[in-house]
Amino acid sequence: MTQFPVEDCELVVGGLHLSRLAARVGQTPFYAYDRGLLSARIAELRAALPEAIQLHYAIKANPMPALVGHMAKLVDGLDVASAGELRVALDAGCPPGEISFAGPGKRDEELVQAVAAGVLLNVESANELRRLAEISARLGWPARVALRVNPDFELKSSGMKMGGGPKPFGIDAEAVPNLLAEVGRLGLAFEGFHLFAGSQNLRAEAIVEAQRKSFELALRLADAAPVPVRVLNLGGGFGIPYFPGETHLDLAPIGANLAEIAQAAAGRLPGAALVIELGRYLVGEAGIYVCRVIDRKVSRGQVFLVCDGGLHHHLSASGNFGQVLRKNYPVMIGNRADAPADTVTTVVGPLCTPLDLMAERMPLPEAQPGDLVVIFQSGAYGASASPQAFLGHPAAVEVLV
């Protein structure tokens, strides 16, 4: 499962043996993100997708400033979901024209900041549209607007569904035509549509179907738009494999489908930029989480490694970030990389809760206190998606290597 090399029994991360990297970082636990792997993933994606498709990074997946700075140079834009993320994106040097801001519940202060910055606002409701118009008129600066549409279909087999049916995200597709008439009357600068149907999908056919339906829906809605559509964001949802039996997403059919869409768009929506926005897929596999074994104990025949990190730094790996069934992320003893995995081991963190579980009954090499436990597939929804204050342990450090 891992893309990281092994040398002298040790995982190698950013050119350093893991124990050396741990010494360089100065503490465990830490997250390490590999620049080379981030760049390689984007190059691979660019090669598989038609040139006409713009690639955005949704920084919610990993908002570490240095990482966002690295990504900003490689993608065509950044998507933010709060004013805090907007600040990170602007600090990273991303031009405001290439930033879009989606998210239900944008506060007035956030709308002011976005209008002042000149970024594209993906509007999520009729009320938000009216508040935005009022703010834009009061400030005297034009607001750039796209409507986020809650589609009338779902992204099938998604880890998390975010469109179709009743949803807090976006404007129901059937309500969009009336609202488009209002956009013109309110004096807002309309630019296009944003559709985002779901997350963590490993089935190319499901993504292809959602992208095709999104495009068709956008074509119907474009007829009611006050001005020609300039931006059509078709969402993302590309997943990565976490668990045994899961395999990498097949990009070929997605690329072929997007090429067809791009060709149709050139005729039907001339001048419109086609965007996809990805978080997890771009960064998830480039990151690891590393913690150190504090204690090894055997309880009624079961081996436990008790570590200095766990759920409070890495909620997703503990299975408590929206997962229905808990499954083990890929785990390795990073300083015993070549040793046979002959000991059934349960890896836990230091918290006083049975939820603080990082690997349950997994075959691993025989490990000892001081060893380094590595959790792969940790570059997305890790540090920033975890309750780091829970129980008052030190926060994890994050490094880009």
Here the tokens at position 198 are 């779901």
Q: Which is nearer to ligand PLP, 63 or 236 (CB)?
A: 236
Q: Which is nearer to ligand PLP, 81 or 373 (CB)?
A: 81
Q: Which is nearer to ligand PLP, 102 or 221 (CB)?
A: 102
Q: Which is nearer to ligand PLP, 201 or 328 (CB)?
A: 201
The residue count for binding ligand PLP (CB under 6 A) is 17
| Polymer length in residues for the chain | 401
Here the tokens at position 307 are 């570590």
Q: Are 240 and 283 in contact (CB under 8 A)?
A: no
Q: Cα–Cα–Cα angle for 91, 96, 100, nearest 5°?
A: 105
279 contacts ligand PLP (rule: CB under 6 A): yes
One symbol per residue from 132 to 171: x for binding ligand PLP (CB under 6 A), - otherwise; what is it?
----------------------------------------
One symbol per residue from 185 to 214: x for binding ligand PLP (CB under 6 A), - otherwise; what is it?
-----------x--xx--------------
Q: Which is nearer to ligand PLP, 190 or 238 (CB)?
A: 238
Q: Assign residue 165 a region (left: φ > 0; alpha: ψ between -120 and 50; beta: otherwise).
A: left
Here the tokens at position 253 are 């059919």
Q: How far is the CB of 33 from ligand PLP (least distance, A)?
A: 15
Give CA–CA dist 233/218, Å, rounded: 10
One symbol per residue from 59 to 88: x for binding ligand PLP (CB under 6 A), - otherwise; what is it?
-xx-----------------x-x-------
Q: Which is nearer to ligand PLP, 17 or 280 (CB)?
A: 280
Q: How far is the CB of 207 from ligand PLP (least distance, A)?
A: 11
Q: Are 161 and 197 in contact (CB under 8 A)?
A: yes
Stretch that binds ligand PLP, among 218-226, 271-279, 310-318, 392-400 (CB under 6 A): 271-279
Here the tokens at position 258 are 């997007």
Beta bridge mates, 17: 12
Residue 362, SS3 per DSSP: strand
One symbol per residue from 370 to 399: x for binding ligand PLP (CB under 6 A), - otherwise; what is it?
----------x-------------------
Here the tokens at position 363 are 């075959």
236 contacts ligand PLP (rule: CB under 6 A): yes
Query: At residue 193, what is the residue type?
Result: F
Q: How far is the CB of 267 from ligand PLP (least distance, A)?
A: 27
Q: Which is nearer to ligand PLP, 21 or 276 (CB)?
A: 276
Give CA–CA dist 207/154, Å, rounded: 10
Residue 233, SS3 per DSSP: strand
Q: How far is the CB of 66 from ligand PLP (least distance, A)?
A: 19
Tokens 């190698």 -> residue: 12
Tokens 């020609």 -> residue: 228
Stretch that binds ligand PLP, among 16-24, 110-118, 133-141, 277-285 (CB under 6 A): 277-285
The residues in 295-334 that bind ligand PLP, with binding defined as CB under 6 A, are: none
CB hemisphere CA count around 350 (13 angstroms):
19
Give CA–CA dist 254/238, Å, rounded: 10
Stretch that binds ligand PLP, among 54-62, 124-132, 333-341, 388-396 (CB under 6 A): 54-62
Q: Which is nearer to ligand PLP, 124 or 308 (CB)?
A: 124
Distance of CA 390 to the CA centre of its chain: 23
Give CA–CA dist 400/63, Å, rounded: 12
Residue 395, SS3 per DSSP: coil
Binding site for ligand PLP (CB under 6 A): 58, 60-61, 79, 81, 102, 196, 199-200, 236-237, 277-281, 380
